[in-house]
Amino acid sequence: MRLQRLAGIHHDSSCIVVSGRKATCIIDPGTSWYQVNLLERLKPHLEDRPPVASILLSHRHFDTCGAAPYLASELGANIRIHSDAIAPLAGADMFTTWASRYGSDMPSIDALALDDGEIIELGDAELHVLHTPGHTVDSCVFHIPSKHVIICGDLVPAAGHPVRADMPTGALMDLKSSLETVRDLHPNMLVCGRGDAISGHDVCASVLTYHIQSVDERITAKGEIPSGWPKPAETCHWLTPEPSWNFD
């Protein structure tokens, strides 16, 4: 199995390439703004791999999935997302995808459903789909049990940046439950939606504990961010703790 993370440009999420002996998947290609550039960046990483079978989307936001139709067309792949997002994406919904906040058109996306608990066979490894709502109602992570790796999307944007639940279809109680689900899998690596991957069982556990505690604080405060934390920009899908979290 091979896994490669390409850092996103500007607002784009990280783009993840995962392949086994039989299949390759691309996870979260980012906005449509840099889709031609992204394809050129991907080409060297796709050499000597099996063909791309699917573009997998962790959730419906424009900064995560806007480039999916272009890549699917160019690579001959299908697009897959949790069933709760299929109708909004097909209808090019500007509101719950947050595309309106970027002043951007949302492309219509024809996607197939991902089911909670579904197993995607890659050949010498498996991706297990876990429905982890909270950031959006359709959010999912992708678990590779054989490697103790979880590809998080925006559930964990970065080690020191907890995810927002105050966007359309978000819910703090669901977010807490989803983070606890990931914690209870005892990962050895978290591949984040934005920042560098988090490696090591103890570090992953510490990061997830901080993230869960931040959700508890927001639940207690009826959705308000903790006192002293800067207010995020509308297009920012994560929060910035103050003082910053230190995992050294």
The pLDDT of residue 179 is 98
Q: Rounded to an integer, what distance in angstroms lies between the CA atom of residue 36 and that of residue 13?
A: 15
Residue 20 located in a structural domain: yes
Alpha carbon distance 119, 244 (integer Å)? 37
Q: Is residue 117 part of a domain?
A: yes
Q: For residue 25, is it within any domain?
A: yes
Domain membership flag for residue 88: yes
- CA 107 centroid distance within chain: 19
Q: What CATH number has the domain bearing residue 204?
A: 3.60.15.10
β-bridge partners, 126 = 121
User: Would residue 226 count as lying in a domain?
Assistant: no
CA distance 60 to 120: 20
Instruction: Give the Cα separation of 19 and 23 in Å (integer).
Output: 6
pLDDT at 140: 98
Counting the structural domains of the chain, the total is 1
In a domain, 236, yes or no: no
Whats the size of the chain, residue-wise?
Answer: 248
**Buried/exposed code over 138-152 (b: 16+ C-beta within 10 A; e: otherwise):** bbbbbbbeeeebbbb
> Is 234 part of a structural domain of the chain?
no
Residue 104 belongs to some domain of the structure: yes
For residues 244 and 154, give the distance between their C-alpha atoms in angstroms, rounded to a whole number. 19
Which residues form the domain of 38?
A: 2-220
Q: pLDDT digit of tens for each residue in the chain (248 aa)?
A: 899 999 988 889 999 999 999 999 999 999 999 999 999 999 999 999 999 999 999 999 999 999 999 999 999 999 999 999 999 999 999 999 999 998 889 999 999 999 999 999 999 889 999 999 999 999 999 999 999 999 999 999 999 999 999 999 999 999 999 999 999 999 999 999 998 999 999 999 999 999 999 999 999 999 999 999 999 988 899 999 999 998 86
